[in-house]
């Protein structure tokens, strides 16, 4: 099926092929008859061997031979047994000569070996022959792993074998891959000579350079090198990266129960409606086991047990971000009194990463809540008034209170030794000479990011963000085929740069309409027109209630579910191509105002977010047929299920979907049915 | 860049279906069930499924079923999970899933799950993540996914995850686009794509695009049209398809057509076959090529077929 040239058959070739076809067909028919009638004579067996030599893909023939062996075994002694198995191995070898990628042949050999037949030397000799014929034959590599396990050959010896193979030709991805598997095992069980990861990794860096620097277009070493960087930098234990409220924050609830937090003033009419205060915990990786035992909340305010919820878009029990809602309405809060809330994380075991690592260092967050009686005018945007996103409705914030930062402090990964930074530093000097070489530029970018991640937060002078942003821009020109990959990386880094500190964030923060620092107000984070193709840094954005991401190039909002305080969101003029891309919004209880106008909803026949969104197709939820029928009556579920899935759990008051191919009158009347709380559609009152 | 000669491909598939005694047909007799799936799905994507006699196909499929519930590749061939999925998929295309005893097929598949969550292909015990995908996909189409231990199945698949973010046949097996499709597809259907490192795998997958615009299956290998499916559907399921050049890939696939006789080959100017014709057309579907109906990247069936199975009461 592969690699045969296309050429029209000459007449004589046609008749030869026709004769071949007839011969094979009669062979196969005869075989099937023998198989059907369970005939295991020598003649029948020879026929099957002949068949497998011509057509090793005929899987039923391999089954037949196993049945024949079982049948003939029961009637013989051990000498005949040995020769029986020898015969099988021979048939396999002949078949592999015809097609050394035949699944059936390799499995048959494993079957024979699992019966206790053949010698290590014999199998290794066979494997060496195959290695010479095709160093990348993954069947042979799989078989090698099978044999070495069966015959208990050590990982250390196999590691030496990969060196031998790479020594012949570094362009052997299969060998590098095998090396990563063996080293992982040796590290995990802290085998002799492998307990000091740093020494081994330093040697491996030197070793893989041969593959990268000899021929920079050959990919064999790239992924191994990336794995080495990951092994150097990664911290297995899950850690808390940020929270809202952050440690030391001061949250004020005023008379009408709306929220005011110091640092950056916040007002959220939605919080006043629900009277709940969210507490958001953001970890560095997905974890499970966050509950009232592992995260203990202490305060005189609390009367009931708290239920922590994982913010997972596919209804999983593990998530990077967890939230709990404090029911302020139930509490008898005294005016002008400050209440302290203490959150103790990980003092008892139970928070686990998906790799089984326990939460790193027990930590504590304390914040204060207080109630004031200040009367406030209802601000535009509450009660169904149109939310404007126009420039002249916003005013830049010049400064804000120093007392409590809205942006959490420490995001750097604690390391126990300096060798990580030294190793990365060493690698950077090796990759400094750029020449217009894609893999060197990309590797240098990754190394610089790794270095910044490892550096202590206060050591700002070493920040390489500008340099890396420049590298990604160069890569977009150097390797246009993959330009959107580099653009996504660029966007992520840009966002990190913008959100990493109060100073960098302030230029993007604006007061909405007549808000100011002293009276209750809306603060909007305006990130429009930044050519963002991807969103990130959500750990720094937990405080945001109003967000403008319009006029960018976003196709997804993966991770946005962390922004539990979000009530107004502008995603207009982006590249959202499906309703499933809006999946994260289902987890935003506070969302009231949504603008997704001028996107590509309804323009695409293929949905790239289909399986990243919880749905019946992925068995993460059951389609709400009853509710669909009540709300939508005659509308077809096959036509509207995605929109229904997303919107039926939202409580929007203001929605703008104009400028999307899907937004015809039919769809508009459907969506109004699904959103009973809606007061404004496409900037018009309903 | 030329166009898709859809009508020629339809004729090619119909001619292959009829020519049972060509050498190519005979040597692939044992996997005719797969061939039926490739050919008929392509016809559906090109809007021409009605050119086939549905009753003839359905009765032939049923004649390949064994008492245990599994299907063989052709009449007289042993049951295997590979052909069981193809049988169910073809019946789904024709909206004829009601002709099989779903519990019988389910029991066959359930019996193939091993202690560690993996699946064997048949009673002879070959284990491969391809079979994990088949089990999950097939049972999902029959609305009986809960009959297997999905958690263990997912755990086994994750144990085959490699340093490059990809997946192999068995734990420790090298990443290969075909295996990656199977593992990502299985995890997608099982609602567990959060366990995939999408950025790491996405980069490995996007680097399969070589200078000619075609995709290879793993580093330092030749591009092949069938990877337009394995790599592309994987990229689509994890939403990283924008990391390759879609235009260059479309051009590569179109260049692999035999514009005179119909059919698509693995590489330009190679011999065509039904396998690559299907993968070429399915790839074009994922790339939203006009005139080709959309295909679901996880179930590998037309979107309208999948929606019909899950969203009609």
Q: DSSP state, A388? A: P
- Name every chain A residue with its beta carbon within 8 A of the beta carbon of B129: none
The CA distance from A42 to A26, in Å, is 19
Q: Is A29 in the same domain as A176?
A: yes
Window A:608-627, CB contacts with B under 8 Å:
608-612, 614, 616-620, 623, 625
Q: Is A681 in the same domain as A533?
A: yes
Q: Is A460 in the same domain as A571?
A: no
A209 HSE (CA, 13 A, CB side): 13
Q: List pLDDT tens digits, range B171-185.
A: 999 999 999 999 999
Identify the pLDDT of residue B1: 57
B17 HSE (CA, 13 A, CB side): 22
Judged by CB atoms closer than 8 Å, whether chains meet at A638 and B304 is answered as yes
- The partner residue sitting opposite B310, judged by closest CB among A24, A606, A616, is A616
Range of the domain at A490: 418-499
Q: Is A633 in the same domain as A565?
A: yes
Question: What is the ipTM metric for this complex?
Answer: 0.96
Residues 6+ apart with CB under 8 A from B18: none
Q: DSSP states of A150-183 as a string? A: HTT--HHHHHHHHHHHHHH-S--HHHHHHHHHHH
Q: Please compute the mean of the pLDDT values over residues A170-174 and round it to a whole number.
A: 92
Q: How many CB pairs under 8 A join A and B?
A: 230
Total domains, chain A:
4
Identify the pLDDT of residue A274: 47
Sign of CA dihedral A393, A399, A400, A404: positive
Q: Please compute the mean of the pLDDT values over residues B5-17 and round it to a whole number.
A: 96
A409 pLDDT more than 80? no
| SS3 category, B190 | coil
- A407 in a domain, yes or no? no
- A575 in a domain, yes or no? yes
Given pLDDT bands bounded at 50, 70 and 90, which one contains residue A269? very low
Residue A278, number of CB atoms within 10 A of its CB? 18
- A35 in a domain, yes or no? yes
Q: Is A317 in the same domain as A459?
A: no
Q: Is A20 in the same domain as A139?
A: yes
- Name every chain A residue with its beta carbon within 8 A of the beta carbon of B175: 177
Q: Is A538 in the same domain as A677?
A: yes
Q: List pLDDT tens digits, range B253-305.
A: 999 999 999 999 999 999 999 999 999 999 999 999 999 999 999 999 999 99
Nearest alpha-carbon partner for A539 in A243, A263, A236, A279? A243
Q: Is A340 in the same domain as A423?
A: no
CATH number at residue A577: 3.80.10.10
- A467 in a domain, yes or no? yes
Angle at alpha carbon of residue B215, lines to B210 and B219, rounded to 5°: 70
Closest-CA residue of chain B to A138:
B174
- A32 in a domain, yes or no? yes
Q: List pLDDT tens digits, range A327-386.
A: 876 677 777 788 899 999 988 899 999 888 999 789 999 998 887 654 444 444 444 467
- The partner residue sitting opposite B124, judged by closest CB among A111, A220, A230, is A111
The CA distance from A316 to B192, in Å, is 8
Given pLDDT bands bounded at 50, 70 and 90, which one contains residue A259? low
Judged by CB atoms closer than 8 Å, whether chains meet at A618 and B126 is answered as no
Given pLDDT bands bounded at 50, 70 and 90, which one contains residue A457? low
Judged by CB atoms closer than 8 Å, whether chains meet at B140 and A638 is answered as no
Q: Is A593 in the same domain as A467?
A: no
Tokens at residue B34, please? 């797969």
Q: Is A331 in the same domain as A443?
A: no
Interface test with B, best of A26, A30, A59 (most B CBs within 10 A): A59
> Which of A132, A158, A193 is the last residue before a domain boundary?
A193
CA distance A259 to chain B (A): 34
Q: DSSP state, A655? A: E
CATH number at residue A109: 1.25.40.120
* Poorest-pLDDT segment among A231-235, A595-599, B63-67, B152-156: A231-235
- A613 in a domain, yes or no? yes
Give the whole-number percent of chain A exceeding pLDDT 70: 88
As separate numbers, helices (DSSP H) first and strands (DSSP E) second, chain A gives 20, 19
Given pLDDT bands bounded at 50, 70 and 90, which one contains residue A473? very high
pLDDT: is A251 or B202 the higher one? Answer: B202
- A655 in a domain, yes or no? yes
What domains are defined for chain B? 6-311 (1.50.10.20)
- Name every chain B residue with its beta carbon within 8 A of the beta carbon of A481: 209, 213, 244-245, 248
Q: Is A250 in the same domain as A351?
A: yes
Identify the pLDDT of residue A462: 63
Q: Please compute the mean of the pLDDT values over residues A152-162 and round it to a whole number.
A: 93
CA distance B99 to chain A (A): 23
Q: Is A449 in the same domain as A536?
A: no
A9 CB within 8 Å of a chain B CB? no
Closest-CA residue of chain B to A66:
B124
- A438 in a domain, yes or no? yes
> Which of A463, A484, A499 is the last residue before a domain boundary?
A499
- The partner residue sitting opposite B239, judged by closest CB among A18, A59, A556, is A556
CA distances to A387, A510, A562, B53 from A383, rounded to whole Å, are: 11, 22, 26, 61
Identify the pLDDT of residue A22: 93
């Amino acid at each position: 099926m592969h690699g045969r040239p296309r050429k029209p058959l000459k007449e004589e070739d046609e008749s030869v092929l026709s004769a071949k076809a007839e011969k094979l067909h009669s062979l196969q028919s005869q075989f099937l008859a023998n198989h059907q009638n369970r005939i295991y004579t020598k003649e029948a067996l020879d026929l099957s061997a002949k068949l497998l030599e011509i057509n090793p893909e005929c899987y039923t023939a391999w089954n037949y031979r196993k049945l024949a062996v079982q049948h003939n075994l029961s009637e013989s002694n051990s000498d005949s047994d040995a020769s029986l198995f020898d015969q099988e191995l021979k048939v396999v070898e002949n078949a592999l000569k015809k097609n050394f990628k035949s699944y059936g042949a390799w499995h048959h050999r494993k079957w024979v070996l699992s019966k206790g037949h053949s010698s290590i030397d014999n199998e290794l000799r066979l494997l060496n022959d195959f290695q010479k014929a095709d160093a990348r034959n993954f069947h042979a590599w799989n078989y090698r792993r099978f044999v070495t396990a069966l015959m208990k050959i050590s990982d250390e010896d196999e590691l030496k074998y990969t060196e031998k193979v790479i020594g012949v030709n570094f362009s052997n991805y299969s060998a590098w891959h095998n090396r990563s598997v063996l080293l992982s095992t040796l590290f995990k069980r802290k085998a002799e000579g492998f307990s000091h990861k740093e020494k081994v990794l330093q040697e491996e860096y030197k070793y893989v350079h041969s593959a990268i620097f000899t021929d920079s277009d050959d990919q064999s070493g790239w992924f191994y090198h990336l794995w080495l960087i990951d092994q150097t930098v990664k911290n297995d234990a899950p850690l808390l990266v940020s929270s809202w409220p952050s440690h030391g924050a001061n949250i004020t609830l005023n008379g009408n129960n709306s929220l005011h937090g110091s640092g950056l003033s916040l007002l959220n009419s939605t919080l006043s409606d629900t009277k709940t205060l969210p507490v958001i915990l953001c970890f560095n990786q997905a974890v499970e086991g966050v509950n009232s035992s592992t995260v203990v909340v202490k305060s005189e305010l609390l009367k009931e047990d708290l239920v922590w919820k994982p913010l997972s878009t596919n209804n999983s029990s593990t998530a990077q971000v967890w939230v709990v809602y404090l029911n302020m309405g139930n509490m008898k809060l005294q005016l002008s009194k400050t209440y302290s809330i203490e959150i103790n994380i990980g003092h008892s075991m139970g928070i686990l990463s998906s790799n089984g690592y326990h939460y790193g260092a027990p930590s504590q967050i304390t914040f204060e809540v207080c109630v004031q009686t200040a009367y406030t005018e209802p601000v535009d945007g509450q009660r169904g008034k149109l939310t404007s996103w126009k420039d002249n409705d916003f005013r830049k914030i010049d400064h804000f209170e120093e007392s409590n930062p809205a942006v959490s402090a420490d995001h750097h990964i604690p390391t126990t030794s300096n060798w990580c930074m030294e190793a990365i530093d060493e690698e950077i000097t090796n990759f400094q000479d750029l020449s217009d070489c894609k893999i060197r530029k990309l590797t240098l970018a990754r190394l610089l990011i790794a270095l910044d991640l490892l550096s202590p937060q206060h050591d700002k002078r070493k920040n390489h963000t500008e340099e890396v942003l420049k590298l990604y821009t160069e890569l977009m020109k150097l390797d246009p085929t993959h330009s959107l990959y580099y653009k996504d990386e660029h966007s992520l880094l840009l966002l990190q740069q913008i959100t990493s500190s109060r100073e960098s964030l302030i230029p993007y923060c604006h007061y909405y309409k007549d808000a100011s620092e002293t009276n209750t107000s809306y603060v909007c984070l305006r990130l429009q027109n930044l050519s963002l193709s991807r969103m990130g840094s959500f750990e720094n954005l937990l405080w945001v209630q109003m967000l403008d991401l319009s006029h960018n190039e976003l196709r997804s909002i993966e991770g946005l579910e962390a922004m539990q305080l979000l009530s107004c969101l502008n995603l207009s003029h982006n590249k959202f191509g499906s309703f499933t891309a809006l999946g994260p919004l289902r987890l935003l209880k506070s969302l009231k105002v949504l603008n997704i106008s001028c996107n590509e909803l309804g323009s695409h026949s293929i949905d790239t977010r289909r399986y990243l969104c919880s749905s019946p197709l992925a068995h993460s939820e059951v389609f709400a047929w009853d509710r669909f029928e009540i709300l939508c009556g005659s509308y077809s579920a096959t036509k509207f299920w995605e929109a229904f899935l997303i919107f039926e759990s939202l409580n929007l008051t203001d929605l703008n979907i104009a400028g999307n191919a899907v937004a015809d009158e039919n769809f508009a009347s459907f969506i109004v049915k699904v959103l009973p709380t809606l007061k404004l559609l496409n900037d018009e009152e309903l | 860049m030329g166009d898709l000669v859809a009508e020629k491909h339809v004729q090619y598939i119909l001619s292959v279906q009829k020519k049972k005694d060509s050498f190519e047909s005979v040597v692939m007799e044992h996997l005719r069930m797969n061939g039926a799936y490739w050919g008929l799905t392509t016809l559906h994507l090109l809007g021409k499924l009605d050119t086939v006699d549905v009753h003839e196909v359905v009765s032939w499929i049923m004649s390949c079923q064994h008492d245990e519930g599994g299907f063989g590749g052709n009449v007289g061939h042993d049951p295997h999970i590979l052909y069981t999925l193809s049988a169910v998929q073809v019946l789904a295309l024709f909206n004829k899933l009601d002709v099989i005893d779903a519990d019988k097929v389910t029991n066959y598949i359930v019996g193939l799950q091993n202690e560690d969550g993996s699946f064997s292909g048949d009673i002879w015990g070959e284990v491969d993540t391809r079979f994990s995908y088949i089990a999950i996909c097939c049972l999902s189409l029959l609305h009986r996914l809960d009959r297997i231990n999905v958690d263990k199945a997912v755990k086994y698949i994750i144990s085959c995850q490699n340093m490059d973010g990809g997946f192999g046949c068995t734990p420790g097996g090298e990443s290969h686009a075909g295996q990656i499709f199977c593992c990502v597809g299985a995890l997608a259907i099982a609602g567990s794509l959060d366990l995939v490192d999408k950025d790491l795998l996405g980069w490995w997958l996007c680097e399969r695009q070589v200078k000619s615009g075609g995709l290879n299956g793993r580093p330092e290998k030749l591009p092949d049209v069938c990877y337009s499916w394995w790599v592309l559907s994987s990229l689509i399921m994890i939403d990283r398809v924008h990391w390759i050049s879609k235009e260059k890939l479309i051009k590569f696939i179109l260049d692999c057509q035999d514009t005179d006789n119909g059919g698509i080959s693995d590489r330009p100017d190679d011999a065509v076959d039904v396998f690559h014709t299907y993968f070429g057309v399915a790839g074009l579907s994922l790339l939203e090529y006009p005139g080709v109906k959309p295909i679901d990247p996880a179930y590998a069936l037309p979107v309208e077929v999948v929606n019909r199975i899950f969203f009609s009461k």
